[in-house]
Amino acid sequence: MSSGSRSSRQRSHSSRISDDQIIQLVSKLRQLVPEIRNRRSDKVSASKVLQETCNYIKNLHREVDDLSERLGQLLSTIDADSAEAAIIRSLLSN
């Protein structure tokens, strides 16, 4: 008998990530971001990893936002065509 404390609608598919996936996420994250370190390598709490991941993504979003802002200022002061063409050419050739 459902105690009613869980909405069955939420459980249309399980919102549990499998342990394997957590391990995969952890190992990949550590490759990408050396700063994300675990206290012990084998015992990893799923929620902690998820939280680290969320924080990391939020930081990335913030950085994109910040860079867009800076570019907004910079690009407005550059004369459109000539400078942009120069940038593009040099960047694409790298």
Partner 1 sequence: MRNQRSVKQEFLRKWITGLRRYSCDEKKNMSFLERKKAIKLSADIAMASTRDKTTRWSQALIANASSSGDTLTGSSKNNSSRSRKKMLMMRRRRPKVKSAKKEMSASCIAKRLAEKRTRKLKNLLPGGESIDEGCLVEETLDYIESLRAQIEVMRYLVTASQLIINPYP
> If you write DSSP's letter for every residue of 47-68 in order, what string do you get?
HHHHHHHHHHHHHHHHHHHHHH
Largest CA distance in the chain: 72
State the nearest-atom distance from the C-beta of 66 to partner 1, in Å: 9
Q: Which is nearer to partner 1, 41 or 64 (CB)?
A: 64
Give residues in contact with partner 1 (CB under 8 A): 3, 5-7, 10, 13-18, 21-22, 24-25, 28-29, 32, 45-47, 50-51, 53-54, 56-58, 60-61, 63-65, 67-78, 80, 83-84, 86-88, 90-92
Query: What phi and psi values does residue 46 have, to the nearest 5 degrees?
Result: -60, -45
State the nearest-atom distance from the C-beta of 42 to partner 1, in Å: 17
Q: What tokens does 85 get?
A: 């063409």
